[in-house]
């Protein structure tokens, strides 16, 4: 069982320390206090972690057979990173060659935004254990956060070299390679990451993103499926909205590519009908209809299904997804011709206008 206690600095018996380390608050004092408790508990077969600040000394002691990290990891997992750092620092003094302690300390510094401190510890960790793939990832992440992509890439490559069968290392390298526009390599690493971590949301999203950039029909279809999976499995993720947008873009792309010469006569007819409706109803009603469709379409309109499965409060009848999209496009063009609706029905709109004027 661990013992944890705190002693106010003014209560500590400085006579227990070497004469040259009795000046309270000095580095020599802090080190001597740590060494004092380390020695006292070591003599009882225990390990001590000690922190000394301006007001008090905190000691955590536990049986030596237990891993020191067992007592720090709960703090890190609970997000108490700043509180854990002094204990990890204390451990690096009593066990300076422990790569796992250095790794956790480095990651903690990185999470606190102290990247230089993080890199120093993590590089020491990989010196001690060159096969520590996650420490290499930690180095890469710190460099990435420092906006040093070249160094980050080198570290991520080292991570994969250290452990090619670790999904986490593959995922990080693949993600960074997207930024370097090395898409084929990114896809390879992210695909492997997903093999190794089949349910990892970031691997799913990362592979979809990389595939999207390949811009081939097959890659688009695979990416669309991955985005759909991401949305279904992680509907509350902030990235779900990005996935929705990407899926909408795919739908538009498919819509356009399925038409002869890229022109959709059905859309032109929907627009022509909408122009007539808006002319009768006036601009206020036009805005109401556009807004209702926009609200309805927040989660995406199914524009590849021809069924008239949608209804509106502001406009009688039932509509297909494509029909609604055409009405909304028309409304926005009427309200503000410069507005970007995310859909290009310009040719169909122009043709509808010309048809109205003839």
- Phi, psi (rounded to 5 degrees) for 114: -95, 75
First and final C-alpha spacing in the chain: 90
- Minimum CB separation from another protein for residue 103, in Å? 29
Residues with Cβ within 8 Å of residue 69, at least 6 apart in sequence: 91, 100, 101, 104
**Residue 3 binding another protein, by CB under 8 A:** yes
Confirm if 141 and 152 have CB atoms less than 8 A apart: yes
Question: What is the spatial distance between Cα 249 and Cα 231, in angstroms, rounded to a whole number?
Answer: 15
Q: Which of residues 254-283 bind another protein (CB under 8 A)?
A: none
The stretch near another protein (CB under 8 A) out of 52-60, 213-221, 273-281, 328-336 is 52-60
Task: Find the part of the chain contacting another protein (CB under 8 A) among 35-43, 70-78, 85-93, 177-185.
Answer: 35-43
Instruction: State in angstroms the smallest separation of the CB of 212 from another protein.
Output: 57
Minimum distance, C-beta of residue 33 to another protein, in the bound complex (Å): 8
Of the candidate residues 23, 26, 44, 215, the single one contacting another protein (CB under 8 A): 44
**C-beta closer to another protein: residue 62 or 278:** 62
Task: Give least dist CB 60 to another protein, A.
Answer: 12
Among 329, 318, 323, CA closest to 290: 329
Interface with another protein includes 61 (CB under 8 A)?
A: yes
6 contributes a contact to another protein by CB under 8 A: yes
Q: What is the DSSP letter of 262?
A: G
Contact with another protein (CB under 8 A): which of 37, 136, 332, 345? 37
Q: Is 16 in the site for another protein (CB under 8 A)?
A: yes
Helix (H, G, I), strand (E, B) or coil at 316: coil
Going by C-alpha positions, the residue among 350, 330, 321, 244 that lies closest to residue 281 is 330
Among 22, 31, 40, 287, binds another protein (CB under 8 A): 40
Which residues, other chains included, contact 167 with Cβ-Cβ below 8 Å and sequence gap of 6+? Answer: 192, 193, 194, 195, 196, 197, 200, 203
Contacts for 34-43: CB closer than 8 Å, 24+ residues apart: 34/90, 34/93, 34/94, 37/61, 38/93, 38/94
Residue 5: CB minimum distance to another protein, A: 4
Extended beta strands in the chain, E state: 3-8, 46-52, 56-63, 310-311, 318-319
Residue with tokens 């390599």: 185
Q: Applying CB under 8 A, does 87 fall inside the site for another protein?
A: no
CB 89, min distance to another protein, A: 20
Minimum CB distance to another protein smaller for 6 or for 307: 6
Site for another protein contains 57 (CB under 8 A): yes
**From the CB of 81, what's the least distance to another protein, in Å?**
23
Note the residues at the interface with another protein (CB under 8 A).
1, 3, 5-8, 10-13, 15-16, 36-37, 40-41, 44-46, 56-57, 59, 61
């Amino acid at each position: 069982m661990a013992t944890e206690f705190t002693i106010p600095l003014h209560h500590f018996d400085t006579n227990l320390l070497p004469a040259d380390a009795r000046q309270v608050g000095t580095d020599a004092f802090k080190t001597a206090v740590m060494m004092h408790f380390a020695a006292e508990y070591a003599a009882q077969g225990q390990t001590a972690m000690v922190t000394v600040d301006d007001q008090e000394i905190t000691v955590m002691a536990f049986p030596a057979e237990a891993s020191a990290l067992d007592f720090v990891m709960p703090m890190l997992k609970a997000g108490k990173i700043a509180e854990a750092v002094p204990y990890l620092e204390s451990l690096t003094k009593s066990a300076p060659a422990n790569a796992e302690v250095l790794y956790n300390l480095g990651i903690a510094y990185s999470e606190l935004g102290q990247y230089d401190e993080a890199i120093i510890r993590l590089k020491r960790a990989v010196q001690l254990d060159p096969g520590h793939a996650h420490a290499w990832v930690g180095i890469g992440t710190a460099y990435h956060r420092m906006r040093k992509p070249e160094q980050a890439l080198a570290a991520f490559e080292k991570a994969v070299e250290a452990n090619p069968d670790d999904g986490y290392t593959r995922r990080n390298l693949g993600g960074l390679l997207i930024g370097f526009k090395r898409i084929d390599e990114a896809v390879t690493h992210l695909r492997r990451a997903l093999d190794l971590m089949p349910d990892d949301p970031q691997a799913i999203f990362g592979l979809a993103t990389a595939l999207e950039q390949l811009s081939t029909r097959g890659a688009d279809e695979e990416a669309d499926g991955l985005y759909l999976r991401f949305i279904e499995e992680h509907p509350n993720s902030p990235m779900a909205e990005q996935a929705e947008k990407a899926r909408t873009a795919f739908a538009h792309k498919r819509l356009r590519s399925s038409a002869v010469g890229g022109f959709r006569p059905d859309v032109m007819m929907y627009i022509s009908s909408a122009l007539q409706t808006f002319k009768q109803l006036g601009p206020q009603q036009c805005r109401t209809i556009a807004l209702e469709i926009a609200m309805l379409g927040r989660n995406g309109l199914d524009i590849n299904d021809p069924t008239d499965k949608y209804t509106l409060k502001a406009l009688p009848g039932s509509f297909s997804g494509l029909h609604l999209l055409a009405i909304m496009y028309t409304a926005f063009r009427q309200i503000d011709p410069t507005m970007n609706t995310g859909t290009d029905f310009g040719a169909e709109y122009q043709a509808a206008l010309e048809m109205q004027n003839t």
